[in-house]
Structure formats: C-alpha cells, structure tokens
Amino acid sequence: MVRNLILVLGDQLTPSLSSLAAGDSARDRVLMAELHDEANYVRHHQKKIAFLFSAMRHFAQELRGLGWTVDYVTLDAADNKGNFSDQVAHALAELGPERIVVTQAGEWRVAEMLEGWSARFGVPVDILPDDRFLCTPAAFRQWAAGRKQLRMEYFYRDMRRQTGLLMDGDQPAGGQWNFDAENRKPAAADLFMPGPKACVPDAITQEVLALVAARFGHHFGDLTPFWFAVTRADAESAFATFVRQALPQFGDFQDAMLTGEPFLYHAVIAQYLNCGLLDPLRVCRAVEAAYRAGRVPLNAAEGLIRQIIGWREYVRGIYWLKMPGYERSNFFGHTRALPEFYWTAQTDMACIKAAVTQTREQAYAHHIQRLMVTGNFAMLAGVDPHALHEWYLAVYADAYEWVELPNTVGMSQFADGGLLASKPYAASGAYINRMSNYCGGCRYDVKQRTGLRACPFNALYWDFIARHRDRIASNPRMAQMVRTYDKFAPDEQRKIADSAAAFLASL
C-alpha cells in the first residue's frame, strides 16, 4: 500500500528536497518522468534536454541507493503520458495513494498547475516550500515592501549579514561590500584558460543522447560533444576543479570576452546549481574558505558569492513578486521579431556570431555575452523582449524561467521600466571593443558611427537614445548621453537615423 506519491521535478535533483525529507522510503513512492511537454514548451537546446534527462536518470539511481522506490517514466515508455497532470493521474489510478506530496515548483506555469490538482484529482496535495534557497518568496516580499526601486546591492548586503559569508564581525571582509570595479579587466588572448572539467558520457548518458538525437534532433544546438556532469559527484568535482584552477583569476576577467574562448575563468556551474546537483550555500562556503586560506583574492571570492547569494536569490524574489504578467513587460514598446541570426549565427557582426556560435555549440554563454552582446543588440534594435526571453529560455542549459525571465526583462531589456536595473544596459561598439577582441576581426569598423562599414552597434545605440529620449532623459545615468546626442549637428543626427534604418531593414 502506497501512502504518499512524491513527485520530483527535473530541477529538484536534491536528496534533501523538502518533499523527500517529509516522506518515508518504506511507505511512499517517488515519481519522476521525462515529459514531451517539458522538453518542448519552448524548443530547448538539444544539449539542455540531454543534460536534464541524464541527470534525472542518475538521480533516480541515487534515490534507489538511498532506499526509495522510484517509478521512473522514460520518454519512450509505453505509459508516458507526455505531461505532468496526465502522468500523475495515471500514477494515482495505478497506486491509489492517500495524497500527493511535491516541493514548490520553480516556474509559475507549473506552480499554477500544482495548485489545481487537489480539485482535479480529489486527493490532498501537499506543496512544500523549496528550502534550497536562502530567501523565501514571502521574505522577499517583506524586503521589497515600500521600496520604489528594488536594488540588488541592498538585498545582497542583507544576504551577507544573514549567512555571515565574507563578514568580519558586522563588517564586510576587506572593508567594502562589492569589488565589482576591480572585475572589469579585458583578458589577453595568450593567458592560460583552464576551462571547465569535462565528463565522459557513461552508458546512461549515451542512451539519452541517442534518444534526444532521435526525438529532438530538429531543435537548436549541437548535441555533441557532450561533457556536462550528470551526477552529484561529478558536479562537485567540476566545482572543485574551478575553485582550484580558475577562481583565482575569475574576478579580474569575469567581464572579458575572447574569440575561441567560451569559458575563460568562469565556473560554468549554474546548470548544476539550478537543477539541484550543487547546493548554493555549500558552494559559497567553499569559495569563502578558499579566500580565508589565501588561495584566491577577495575580489574573486566576493564576485562569485555575489552572483549566487545576491543575484541568483534576488532574481528569484523578483520573479515570484511580479508573476504572472511580468513576462509581458515592454517599457519601450519594442515589437521587432527576433533576427534569424540568433538561431543561425549567420551575421557579419563578429561579436554576435561568436556569442551565438558558442551558444549553439555549448548551450552556454557567460553573463556579459548575454547582457552586452545578444541582449544589448536586441534592445538597441527594438526586438520584442518576450521573443528574446523565449530564446534565452530555450538555448541555455542553466535557463529556467525564474532565473532567466527577470534577467532578460529587467536587466537586459529594461522592459520593466527600471524596477530591477538602474539604467538600460545600452552600449555602442566601444564597450565590446574594450572588453573583447571580437572587433579586430570584424567586417565592420568599430570606430565608425555611420555608413556601410560602421559597426551597427554605434548607429543603433544613438538611434536608441533618440527614439526613447522622453523615456530615459530623466534617468540620472542616461541624461548625459541624451545631452551628447543633442549636441550632434542635425546632419549627423540624420546620418545616424539613416544608418540605423538601413541596417534594420537588412535584417
């Protein structure tokens, strides 16, 4: 007799998950399923699907080793119903449990579905908090109450105090909270780049790769070579390799971009954190320990810890505070379709080509490539932010709506009008030239503002300023750029508008 049916979702691959912690392996049954609807609600990157299916299969083995009975439904199983609700209904009919137990879903559409199951199935549904995060949605709402702008920096300081990470008594280590100003160095092409640890696919992963090739081979992205960790042990080993080999240089060069170097000194662990293979607080404590032991500088340790207990927790709070509806935010009223080169990489813009090519190959790009290359271009060109959101959600292995949507709508596209970001992250080609070596091999001239050979980012940037001056002139961090545009001669303003229009017409 099965007492409880415990549903474990694909991003809940953690043995201490609240639903499992509340269960009894002798009396309860775990259900996991590879579902077509979840792989296809946006056309996820082939490598992303393979990573999650393989990680799920390995996690089912891990749970069985801990004494759980796991009903695991593979994608090609005869009893696979294709979606959560029908799969759960099938399990209820087969097992007759007293109740369903599940940890809170990470995405609004799934959470809304779970809320309707008790009425639909006529059994109690216990939805337990996801305690793998440091800040609950309720705590974030309390923090946000009464604030006109929800700046991450102040939230981050509270998280530092709460966790004690990089704190010396009641003061931040090193006497300041944030060392971001030290983390903006361009990287030289001859630096040694360690790269993330690559894992060899085992028999389970090989089987998944064959399945994904057969069922999702038409999706975006290269399936092989496949090197992601898919077990907890391998994810922890990959993180330890990063701490030892790359973390010391991570801080200095975290904003840098180099042709042919997709990873530089980045951790490339977000996909492991976001599916539950790594514990975020344990990761941060290991980084702090490396700093305290003198193995990494403070700016590197602080930079990584800020990304996890600051930014990661913060965007989740924004997501649950503002959903539903946040996904349709469009402050600038942008409506342009996403250019085809976001899928094909067929463009003469070297920076876009590099970012999209490595996205296709690796299901990965680091935060500056997303923010200041593909995101920046989309905003300057007037792309519909919802279309860009769906692209980011589809193409990156670490992308789940709770973390991707606020980054896209709030940070990258300023589509929420400044709730999250203090300014639109708009930049001309000069920024990309300063932080990368892309421009040296580009067909376009980054030093030209207008004309056929000019970097498209340049005319698009000033055209963006002109188009939206009424919306941005009052922003203290954008007002100077509006004044600079106003000083351009009328003929120069006309050339900017003509160059931007001609380029956009060519998309």
Q: What is the 3-state secondary structure (H, E, C) of 372-388?
A: HHHHHHHHHHCECHHHH
> Among residues 128, 150, 178, which one ends one of the domains?
128
Q: In this structure, is residue 484 part of a structural domain?
A: yes
User: Residue 245, Cβ neighbours under 10 Å: how many?
Assistant: 16
Same domain membership, residue 409 and residue 310: no
Same domain membership, residue 72 and residue 148: no
The pLDDT confidence band at residue 51, using thresholds 50, 70 and 90, is: very high
Q: What is the pLDDT of residues 441-469, one digit of tens each?
A: 899 999 999 999 999 999 999 999 999 99
Q: In this structure, is residue 436 part of a structural domain?
A: yes
Same domain membership, residue 351 and residue 255: no
Share of the chain above pLDDT 70, in %: 99
Same domain membership, residue 347 and residue 482: yes
Cα distance from N-terminal residue to C-terminal residue, the chain: 61
The pLDDT confidence band at residue 181, using thresholds 50, 70 and 90, is: confident
**Residue type at 353?**
K
Same domain membership, residue 279 and residue 162: yes
pLDDT the model gives residue 66: 98
Same domain membership, residue 117 and residue 169: no
Q: What is the pLDDT of residues 197-216, one digit of tens each?
A: 999 999 999 999 999 999 99
**In whole numbers, what is the pLDDT of the chain averaged over residues?**
96
Q: What is the pLDDT of residues 365-414, one digit of tens each?
A: 999 999 999 999 999 999 999 999 999 999 999 999 999 999 999 999 99
pLDDT the model gives residue 192: 67
Q: In this structure, is residue 28 part of a structural domain?
A: yes
- Across 81-139, where does the E strand assignment appear? 99-103, 125-128
Same domain membership, residue 112 and residue 149: no
The burial of 506, by beta-carbon neighbours within 10 Å (0-12 exposed, 13-18 middle, 19 or more buried), is given as exposed
User: DSSP labels for 445-471?
Assistant: BTT--SSTTB-HHHHHHHHHHHHTHHH
Q: What is the pLDDT of residues 191-201, one digit of tens each?
A: 567 889 999 99
- Across 123-226, where does the E strand assignment appear? 125-128, 167-168, 171-172
The pLDDT confidence band at residue 190, using thresholds 50, 70 and 90, is: low
Residue 53 predicted with pLDDT over 90: yes
> Quick one: average pLDDT of 249-273?
93
Number of domains in the chain: 3
> Among residues 289, 322, 355, which one ends one of the domains?
322
Same domain membership, residue 484 and residue 357: yes
Same domain membership, residue 28 and residue 174: no
CATH number at residue 177: 1.25.40.80
**Cα separation, 91 vs 28, whole angstroms:** 13
CATH number at residue 105: 3.40.50.620
Same domain membership, residue 384 and residue 499: yes
Residue numbers of the domain that contains 469? 341-505
> Quick one: average pLDDT of 330-338?
98
Same domain membership, residue 347 and residue 424: yes
| Nearest one of 300, 367, 308 to 160, comparing CA atoms | 308
Q: What is the pLDDT of residues 141-174, one digit of tens each?
A: 999 998 888 889 999 999 999 999 999 999 999 9
Q: In this structure, is residue 335 part of a structural domain?
A: no
> Quick one: average pLDDT of 4-26?
98
> Among residues 295, 322, 349, which one ends one of the domains?
322
Q: In this structure, is residue 231 part of a structural domain?
A: no
Same domain membership, residue 191 and residue 90: no
Instruction: Point out the least confidently predicted range of 121-135, 181-195, 290-304, 424-438.
Output: 181-195
pLDDT the model gives residue 35: 97
CATH number at residue 439: 1.10.579.10
**Cα separation, 377 vs 391, whole angstroms:** 14
**Residue type at 293?**
A
Alpha carbons within 13 angstroms on the beta-carbon side of residue 139 total: 13
- 451 phi and psi angles, rounded to 5 deg: 105, 170
pLDDT the model gives residue 64: 98
- Across 15-66, where does the E strand assignment appear? 29-33
Residue 185 predicted with pLDDT over 90: no
Q: In this structure, is residue 334 part of a structural domain?
A: no
pLDDT the model gives residue 1: 77
Q: In this structure, is residue 408 part of a structural domain?
A: yes
pLDDT the model gives residue 453: 96
> Quick one: average pLDDT of 22-33?
97
Q: In this structure, is residue 191 part of a structural domain?
A: yes
